[in-house]
C-alpha cells in the first residue's frame, strides 16, 4: 500500500528537472556576479589605470572560463556525441598536456610528475583525454598550494586501467570528499582561490560516459587523490 504522505511529497521527473534547472541557473548567476562586482569595484577604486586594466582583464577571463565550462558541461549532459572513445595511448597525451601547463605550474609553485607504462591506453580519444588531464592538473594548480607535487600516473591492474592525479597539498576535509565532483562545489579551504568549480564535474561526466568511474580519496601525502578507473582498453 502506498503511503499518502510519500505520494504527496514525491516529485515528478519534470518537477525534479525544474528544481535542478532553477538551482543551476541561480548558482551560475551568482558565480558570474562575483567577478562582475569585483570589476566594478576596481573601476570605482581610483587605482592606477594600468592596474585596473590588468585586474579587470583577469575578471573577464574568469567569466569567460566559467561560460565556456558551463556550455561544455551542458553539451556533455545533452547526450551529444562529444565524448569520443579510444583507445588512445595515455602517456604521450598526458605528457603533452603537462608540458603545456608548465608555466602555470611554475607560477603556482606546483611540480608535475607524469608516470606510467608507455604502452598504457585509455578508452578516450586524445581530445577528451586532454580535457580530463587539463582539469585534473588545473585543480591541483588552483587548490593544492605552493611547494607541492602533483603525480599524474596511469596504473594497470587486473581488468582496469586507472588514471590517478595525486597531490601532497592541503587536501580536502573527509566530509567534503564525496562532494568534489558536484558542479560549483568548492571546499572552505578553496573558496579564496579562483576557479569555476566545474573542472571535476567535467572529469566525472567524461569518465562515466566512457564506462569508467571516479572517486576522490586522501592521498598518501595527505593531499587530494582523484582516481579515474576505466575498463582495461583492448
186 in the same domain as 100:
yes
Contact 233, 173 (CB under 8 A): no
Rounded Cα distance between 75 and 81, Å, is 9
Q: Is residue 229 over pLDDT 90? A: yes
25 and 96 fall within a common domain? no
165 Cβ contact list (under 8 Å, min separation 6): 136, 137, 139, 140, 150, 151, 152, 225, 226
Based on the fold, state whether residues 31 and 137 are members of the same structural domain: no
**Residue 194's pLDDT is what?**
52
Q: CA–CA separation, 197 vs 176, rounded Å?
A: 14
The pTM of the full predicted model, rounded to 2 decimals, is 0.66
pLDDT of 97 reads: 92
In this predicted structure, the answer to whether residue 163 has a pLDDT above a threshold of 80 is yes
State whether 108 and 206 are in the same domain: yes
Do 71 and 99 sit in the same domain of this protein? no
Does any domain span residue 82?
A: no
* Segments forming the whole domain that contains residue 183: 88-231
Q: What is the pLDDT of residues 24-44, one digit of tens each?
A: 555 556 556 666 777 777 777
Q: Are residues 153 and 191 in the same domain?
A: yes
* pLDDT beyond 60 at 196: no
Mean pLDDT of 160-168: 94
Q: What domain count does the chain have?
A: 2
- Tell me the per-residue pLDDT of 133-155, one tens digit each, with 9 for 90 and over: 989 999 999 889 999 999 999 99
Please report, for the domain that includes residue 136, its CATH number: 3.30.565.10
**Do 103 and 72 sit in the same domain of this protein?**
no
33 within a domain of the structure (yes/no): yes
What pLDDT was estimated at residue 8? 46
Last residue of a domain, one of 27, 47, 77: 77
Residue 64's pLDDT is what? Answer: 72
Amino acid at each position: 500500500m502506498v503511503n499518502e504522505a510519500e505520494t504527496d511529497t514525491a516529485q515528478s521527473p519534470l518537477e525534479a528537472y525544474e528544481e535542478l534547472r532553477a538551482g543551476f541557473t541561480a548558482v551560475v548567476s551568482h558565480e558570474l556576479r562575483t567577478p562582475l562586482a569585483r570589476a566594478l569595484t576596481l573601476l570605482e577604486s581610483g587605482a592606477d589605470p594600468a592596474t585596473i586594466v590588468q585586474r579587470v582583464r583577469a575578471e573577464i577571463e574568469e567569466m569567460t572560463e566559467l561560460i565556456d565550462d558551463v556550455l561544455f558541461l551542458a553539451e556533455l549532459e545533452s547526450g551529444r556525441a562529444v565524448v569520443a572513445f579510444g583507445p588512445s595511448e595515455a602517456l604521450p597525451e598526458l605528457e603533452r598536456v603537462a608540458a603545456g601547463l608548465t608555466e602555470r605550474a611554475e607560477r603556482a609553485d606546483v611540480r608535475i610528475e607524469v608516470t606510467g607504462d608507455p604502452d598504457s591506453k585509455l578508452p578516450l580519444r586524445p581530445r577528451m583525454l586532454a580535457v580530463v588531464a587539463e582539469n585534473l592538473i588545473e585543480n591541483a594548480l588552483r587548490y593544492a598550494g605552493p611547494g607541492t607535487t602533483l603525480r599524474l600516473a596511469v596504473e594497470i591492474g587486473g581488468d582496469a586501467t586507472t588514471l590517478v592525479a595525486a597531490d601532497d597539498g592541503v587536501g580536502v576535509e573527509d566530509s567534503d570528499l564525496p562532494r568534489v565532483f558536484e558542479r560549483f562545489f568548492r571546499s572552505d579551504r578553496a573558496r579564496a582561490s579562483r576557479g569555476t568549480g566545474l573542472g571535476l564535474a567535467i572529469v566525472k561526466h567524461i569518465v562515466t560516459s566512457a564506462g569508467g568511474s571516479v572517486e576522490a580519496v586522501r592521498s598518501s601525502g595527505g593531499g587530494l587523490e582523484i582516481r579515474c578507473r576505466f575498463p582495461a582498453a583492448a
